[in-house]
Amino acid sequence: MLDAAFFRRWMTATAASVDREAERLTALDSPIGDADHGSNLQRGFTAVAAAVKKEDPQTPGAVLTLAGRQLISTVGGASGPLYGTLLRRTGKALGDAGEVSETQFAEALRAGVDAVMTLGGAAPGDKTMIDALVPAVDALGDGFVAARAAAEEGALATTPLQARKGRASYLGERSIGHQDPGATSSALLIAGLAEAVDE
Amino acid sequence: MSDDKGKQLVGIVLVSHSAQVAASVAELAQGLAGGGTAVPVAPAGGTEGGELGTSAELIAAAAASVDRGAGVAVLTDLGSAVLTVKALLAEGDELPDNTHLVDAPFVEGAVAAVVTASTGADLAAVEAAAAEAYTYRKV
């Protein structure tokens, strides 16, 4: 079973990896975006880690809704409302339970990913965060390590795609050949799950 | 109070990635609305730090500042501006009751919205006028 402490560790681990990888995310966002993905997410997840520590939410759902709210208000770019909606909707789906099973979490995360697809209008293959998140959710039944591998593979697989959503879509064919920064940061988020278990 | 409702004006919020764009479009729309009733219009441009981007806090503050009880029409430019407003609306308690994201071109829609709101029109009419700006072809 996964308790609030697990979800707090997930957010802390993600904040640490986003912090570590911020420059790489911004470098990926430089040729096809506006070169702020790393710094934007760094600001957002720093706020998440601080809020989770300060407010000490006591249920899995409360941890994720708090984290999502922080991302919406602090990121400043499209990744804020997108990741914010992902975590908030996942948190809402978990309800008030003090502990949730991995199966319940997988179902809730799928609801969160569905909400992101509705909000941004992106589908798999559009070269967005969805290309990492959907394979990750599909693999969650086999555990967090499998989900991490699926997300990383999904992120890598965005390289040959042509962007159909967001700022990169204006570049048309010139977006081909670059790994999508949003899918890359989504892989970091999913990797945080395995780290939260290890601790 | 409810008797006065017909006299309350719809508020307009203009969300852009740029503080200057939001402020200038607000000025343009109010200028073109003429000397009639002053419509509450608030720009919410850029991040709180003054950089290019979108701020949920600035949007929420702008919406609260123009709310006169007749509804608030929010017009946006692109990308995170659209997504942030949608995410705030989904939160339920971040924006005044009867706040709508209007599907309209930013500049033309803002002018149509402010002019229409200045006549005392309701939110649905303001929204319709702004959305209609999409159908005006230039060539």
Give the integer Cα–Cα distance in Å for B61 and B26: 16
Query: Does the pLDDT value for residue B1 go beyond 90?
Result: no
DSSP-based three-state secondary structure for A58: coil
For chain B, which residues make up each domain, given as ranges? Answer: 9-132
Please, what is the angle between helix B106-118 and helix B123-132, to 10°? 140
Cβ-contact A184, A159 below 8 angstroms? no
Candidates A40, A78, A84; nearest CB to B79: A78
Contact B87 A85 (CB under 8 A): yes
Choose, out of B16, B83, B89, the residue to mutate when testing the contact with A (most A CBs < 10 Å): B83
What residues in A contact B74, CB-CB < 8 Å? none
In angstroms, the Cα distances linking B75 to A46, A136, A173, B71, B85 are: 30, 35, 30, 13, 9
CB contact under 8 A, A73 and B79: no
Exposure letters B93-103 (e unless 16+ CB within 10 A, then b)? ebbbeebbbbe
Quote the minimal CA–CA distance from B74 to chain A in Å: 16
The token pair that represents A56 in the structure block: 């000490």
Inter-chain residue contact A40 with B54, CB threshold 8 Å: no
What is the predicted ipTM? 0.89
- CA B5 centroid distance within chain: 19
Q: Which of A73, A82, A167 sits opposite B83 (nearest CB)?
A: A82
The predicted pLDDT at position B92 comes to 85
| Lookup result for tokens 């990926």 | A28
Judged by a CB distance cut-off of 8 A, whether residue A120 touches chain B is yes
If one looks up domain B9-132 in CATH, what number appears? 3.40.50.510
Digit-by-digit pLDDT tens for chain A (199 residues) are 999 999 999 999 999 999 999 999 999 999 999 899 999 999 999 999 999 999 999 999 999 999 999 999 999 999 999 999 999 999 999 999 999 999 999 999 999 999 999 999 999 999 999 999 999 999 999 999 999 999 999 999 999 999 999 999 999 999 999 999 999 999 999 999 999 997 6
Residue closest to B123 by CA, chosen among B6, B34, B16? B6
pTM: 0.93
Place of tokens 């997300």: A151
Q: Which of B16, B55, B74, B80 to mutate to test the interface with A (most CBs of A within 10 A)?
A: B80
Which residues, 6+ apart, have CB-to-CB distance to B27 below 8 Å? Answer: none
Within 8 A of A119 by CB-CB distance, chain B residues are: 83, 86-87, 90
Paired strand residues for A199: none
Nearest CA in chain A to B45: A76
